[in-house]
Structure 1
Amino acid sequence: MLRTAIHDVFLHRSLVVRVRYVSTPSTSATPSSTAKDFPPILPQRKHKIDLHPAPKRIESASQPTPQPTPISSRKPVATSPSPPEPPKKEDDGVKMTIQRDIKHAEDLGILKPASPDATVFRKLIHSTWELTKFYFRGAKLIYARQGEIKAIKKRASSGGAPITRFEGRLIETQRRDINKVIPFLVIAVLLEEVIPIIAIYAPFMLPSTCLLPAQRERIEGKKALKALSTISSARPLFLALQAKSQDGKLPLTALREPGSATMVCSILRLPTFGIDLLRLWRIRRHLRFISNDDRLLIHDDVLKTLTKEDLYQAVAERGFVTQGLSLKDSQARLKWWLDSVKDSPPEDGVSRRLSLLMERR
C-alpha cells in the first residue's frame, strides 16, 4: 500500500510539470515574465515575387522636369541618303534611239504605224515587218537604179548631152551603194535585228537607200562634230602641212606623217578606221570626186540655184565647218573654193584641193 501511494505522488508531480511547460500562458502574465519564459513567435514572411519586366520607375516630383529644346537651337538630324539610281545600261539607250528613229519615220509616212490597240508583242512584230519591207525596197531601188545609170553613161558616150551634176552625184552614190549592198543583204537575211544597231555604231556599212531620215541626220551630225573637234585639236599638224605646200599644191605623199591621213579623213567626213594606206586611198578617191563635182558646178553654173541641203552638203564635202554657218556664208565659201580651182589643170586636181584644205585653216 505504501509503495503504491508513493508512486502515485511522483506520477502526479510529473504530470503537473509537463502541463506547465506545454500549456499556453495566461493573459494575466506580465510582459516581463512572458518574455523571460517564452521566446516571441515571429510572423512568417511571404516570398518576394520578381516581376519581369520590372515596373517603370516613377520619378519623384522633386526632380526637375527637362525643358524642350528650342527649334532654333536644335541640330539638324542627319537623314540617311536615298539609294542611288541604278545606272542606265547602254542597251537601254540603243533601244530608245531605235524606237525614236522608227517613230520619226512613221510620222513622215515612210513606215506604217501599228494599230493603237495592238499589244506590245504585235507592235514589235509590226515594226520588224515594216523595217524588213523598207530594207527590201531600198535594195530593190539600187538594182533598178543601175539601169538608169547605164542609160546616162551610154547617152554621154554616144555624143549626147553631157552628164549633169545631178547625174554625176547619182553615179557616185550608186557606186558606193553597190559596194555595200551585198554585205548588207547578208546581214539582213541572217541578223536583221542588228541593222538599226549598225546604223548607230557603223553607219558606213549601210547603203544610202536603207537609212531612215533620223539615222541619216544623226550620221551627218556626228561627222560634223568629229571634223570640228579635229580642226580645233590638230592646229600644229595643219601648220606643218602648210609648210610643205608649194605653188598651191600639196602632194598626197605629204600625208605619210603619223596622224596626217587620219586628220584629213576626219575633216572630209570619211571613215578613219584602218591603216594609213587605206586612208590615203579614201582621200584620193574623194578628192577626185570633188574635182569632177567642181567642174560640173562651174559648167552648169548652179551655185545660186542649189537648195539649202545641197549647199550645206557641198560645203561639208570640201572640209568646211557647217555648225552655225548661214546660207550666205556657205555660198561665199563654196564660191571661194570654185574660184581657187577654176584654172587648175585636171592632173593637179588632188594636190591642188589638198593644199586648199590646209590653206584656209
Structure 2
Amino acid sequence: MPLLAYLDISFNYLYGSIPLSLGNLQNMTDLNNHLSGVIPDIWSNFKYLYYLDISNNNFSGKIPSSIGSLSYIKFLFLGGSKLSGQVPSSLQNCTSMDTLDMGDNRLSGNLPSWVGEAMPSLLIFRVRNNSFTGHIPGQLCRLSNLHILDLSHNKLTGIIPTCLGNLSRLKIELELDSERYEGSLQVATKGRIMEYTETTLYPVNSLDLSSNNLSGGIPQELTTLSELGTLILSRNQLTGKIPEVIGNLKDLETLDLSHNKLVGEIPASMVSLTFLSHLNLSFNNLSGKIPTNNQFQTFDDPSIYGGSLALCGTPLATKCSASGNGNGETLSGWDKDDEDVKDRLEKLWFYLTVTLGFFMRFWGVCGSLMIEKR
C-alpha cells in the first residue's frame, strides 16, 4: 500500500516489533499504534509524517535517531513505554514541533537544552517520570508559546529558574488555536491525573516541577504568570517563604507546595485566589493563622496544613491566641510555668494599684487638714 497516508492500529493486542516494511510508506502523515518490541530505525523515509503516536506500549531500547529526520513532525508521543538512554540530539532538527511527550519512560541524562532553541513553536513539553538529572535549562524560558511544562518525577537539582516567569503564553490571554492540538495527554491537576484530548487540551495551563531535588526559594517571578491554572512544586527541597504576591495568580485552580521546607505565614494575598479549588501546603514549617476569607472557607480538610505545627486556626484543632497577632502562639501551647508567671504579674499589678489608690486618697484628705489647721 505505497499510497497509504493514515494508519491507526491502536488499542489492540498486537505484539512484536514494527515491521521494517512500514518504512516504504513514504506518503504516511499519521501513525497511531500500540505495539511492543524495539522501535526500528526506519523513519528517514517518512517525508510528510506530521503525527506519530507510539505511546503506551512495551517498547524498549533507545529513541531512534532517524526520528530526527521527520522535518514535518508536529506531534510526537513517545510516553508510557520503557525507552531508555538519552534523548537523541537529532530531534533538534524537528523545528516544527508543537507537542513533545516523552513521559513515563526510563530516559536519563540532562534535559536537552536545545529544545528551547530548536523548537520555537512548542506548546507542550512533557518528560514526567523519567530519570533526568542536572539543572532545569534556562533555554526553556525562550519558548514563548509553551503552556504545559511537566518535568515532574525526575532527579533534577538546582534552583527553579527565575526566567520561567517570562513564559508569555502564561502571562497574557491569547486567542486559542485548537487546530494546533492532536492526540491526548495526561496532566496532573486538582490532586489527580486527568486525560485531555485535542478538544480540551488547548486551554490547560500547567507548570509541574514536583518530585525532584530542587532547592532554593520559590521565585517571585512565577507570580507574574497570571494565566497559570496549575502550579505543582511539591516534594522538593524548597526553602524560604511563599511569595507575598502569590495572589496575582488570579486564574490558579491547583496549588501544591507540600513536602518542602517552606517557612513563614500563609500570605494574605492568597484569599484573592477565588478560582482555587485544590490546595496542599502540608509538611512544611509554616506558622501563623490560616486565612478564613473567600476560598479558604471551603478548605476544611486539616490534612491540607498537616505537618506545620506552628499553624493555627480553622480547620485545625489548634486555636490562635486572643491577641490575633498571627504569630501562631496559642494558650494550649504555653508551658505551665509561663501561665504561673502571668498570673503572679497580674496579681502584683492589682495590689500595687489598690495600695497606690489608698495612699493617694488618704494623703489627699489628711494632708490638706495638716496644712490648713483651722
Instruction: Name the TM-score class by shorter chain.
Output: under 0.3
Structure possessing the higher relative contact order (Cα contacts under 8 Å, 6 or more residues apart): 1
The structure with the greater share of residues assigned to helix is 1
Q: What TM-score do you get using the length of structure 2 for normalisation?
A: 0.21
Greater Rg by CA: 1
Decide which structure has greater strand share.
2
TM-score computed with the length of structure 1 as normaliser: 0.22
